[in-house]
């Protein structure tokens, strides 16, 4: 039996430059999708997946994010917060979480993505991890344009039950160089050896310490898997993704769904 996934890390230290000037005063994770901020959806997804403890790695300017989440009684007991320390890049908040994680496998979710599904995406990844015991990337199918926006995985073995071995990872390679049309999104199950891998990487060409570089090291040392997720994905960290998420959630809403459909029909008929 594989170890139970009890803990999750949510990196939220970014400054949300794509939503400037709004994010000068409001953390991007508090920008609402319909009637609540995106970070609340992410935390609720983790808890609905069976996660018991969540660490949010933030920065010194995001006091309002901590205050908001701590005011929700059903969320507060599960949450911990720490300020990110170290060089800029996606690997740093994971390394910061080492003492919180200890020697356990754990989940990672990004704080500006929304995934809508019958089975939460982290639960889907946990289910896949329980069969392999190896690191697991959440992936979605994308198009040529998506190969310029996402990291693309190289699956060189047959897929079984939507889970497949990953041998390499290309960061935004473009359609000509992409090894597949399977894009990694911000949802992972990682094992504790990721911390050693992070300590072994250096800065990328842009000076950032990238988690994907640590993934590549692990892929050379041990089996590493991808799981193609069932559901609808929205990158709320972009303006278009935020707009799409609001429309999708309005159409799904019992309160607003009918009116939203009529509004959309009216707009499209003009």
Q: What is the pLDDT of residues 182-234, one digit of tens each?
A: 999 999 999 999 999 999 988 777 778 899 899 999 999 999 999 999 999 99
Is residue 157's pLDDT more than 80? Answer: no
Per-residue confidence (pLDDT) for residue 160, from 0 to 100: 64
Collapsing DSSP to helix, strand or coil, 118 comes out as: coil
Q: What is the pLDDT of residues 35-82, one digit of tens each?
A: 999 999 999 999 999 999 999 999 988 899 999 999 999 999 999 999
Residue 132 · residue 163 · CB < 8 Å: yes
Is residue 118's pLDDT more than 90? Answer: yes
For residue 268, name the pLDDT band (cuts at 50, 70, 90): confident
Rounded mean pLDDT, 118-129: 96
Q: How far is the C-alpha of 50 from the C-alpha of 102, rounded, in Å?
A: 18
Degrees to nearest 5, angle at CA 192 with 188 and 195: 95
Per-residue confidence (pLDDT) for residue 1, from 0 to 100: 60
Rounded mean pLDDT, 6-29: 89
The token duo for 17 is: 């430059």
Q: What is the pLDDT of residues 80-105, one digit of tens each?
A: 999 999 888 899 999 999 999 999 99
Query: Please, is 66 exposed, middle or buried when counting C-beta atoms within 10 Å of its C-beta (0-12, 13-18, 19+)?
Result: middle
Per-residue confidence (pLDDT) for residue 158, from 0 to 100: 63
Mean confidence (pLDDT) of the chain: 91
Rounded mean pLDDT, 9-33: 89
Q: How far is the C-alpha of 267 from the C-alpha of 270, rounded, in Å?
A: 6
For residue 170, name the pLDDT band (cuts at 50, 70, 90): confident
DSSP assignment of 158-179, as one string? --BTTEEE--EEEES--TTT-S
In terms of pLDDT, which residue wins out, 244 or 161?
244
Sequence spans of domains, the chain: 7-269
Is residue 172's pLDDT more than 90? Answer: no
Domain 7-269 CATH class label: alpha beta
Q: What is the pLDDT of residues 146-156, one digit of tens each?
A: 899 888 898 87
Is residue 162's pLDDT more than 90? Answer: no
């Amino acid at each position: 039996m594989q170890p139970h996934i009890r803990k999750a890390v949510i990196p939220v230290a970014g400054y949300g430059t794509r939503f400037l000037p709004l994010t000068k005063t409001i953390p991007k994770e508090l920008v609402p999708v319909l009637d609540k901020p995106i970070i609340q959806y992410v935390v609720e997804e983790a808890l609905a997946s069976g996660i018991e403890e969540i660490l949010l790695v933030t920065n010194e300017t995001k006091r309002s994010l901590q205050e908001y989440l701590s005011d929700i009684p059903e969320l507060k007991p599960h949450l911990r917060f720490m300020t990110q320390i170290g060089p800029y890049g996606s690997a740093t908040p994971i390394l910061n979480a080492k003492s919180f994680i200890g020697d356990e496998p754990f989940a990672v979710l990004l704080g500006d993505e929304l995934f809508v599904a019958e089975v939460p995406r982290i639960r889907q990844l946990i289910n896949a991890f329980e069969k392999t015991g190896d690191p697991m990337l959440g992936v979605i199918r994308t198009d040529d344009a998506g190969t310029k926006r996402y990291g693309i995985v190289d699956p060189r073995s047959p897929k079984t039950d939507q889970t497949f071995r990953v041998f390499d990872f290309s960061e935004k390679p473009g359609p000509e160089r992409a090894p597949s049309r399977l894009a990694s999104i911000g949802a992972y199950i990682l094992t504790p050896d990721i911390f050693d891998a992070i300590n072994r990487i250096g800065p990328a060409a842009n000076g950032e310490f990238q988690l994907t570089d640590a993934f590549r090291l692990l892929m050379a040392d041990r089996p590493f898997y991808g799981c193609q997720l069932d559901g609808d994905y929205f990158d709320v960290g972009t303006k278009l993704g935020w707009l799409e998420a609001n429309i999708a959630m309005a159409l799904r809403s019992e309160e607003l769904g009918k009116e939203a459909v009529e509004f959309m029909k009216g707009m499209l008929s003009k």
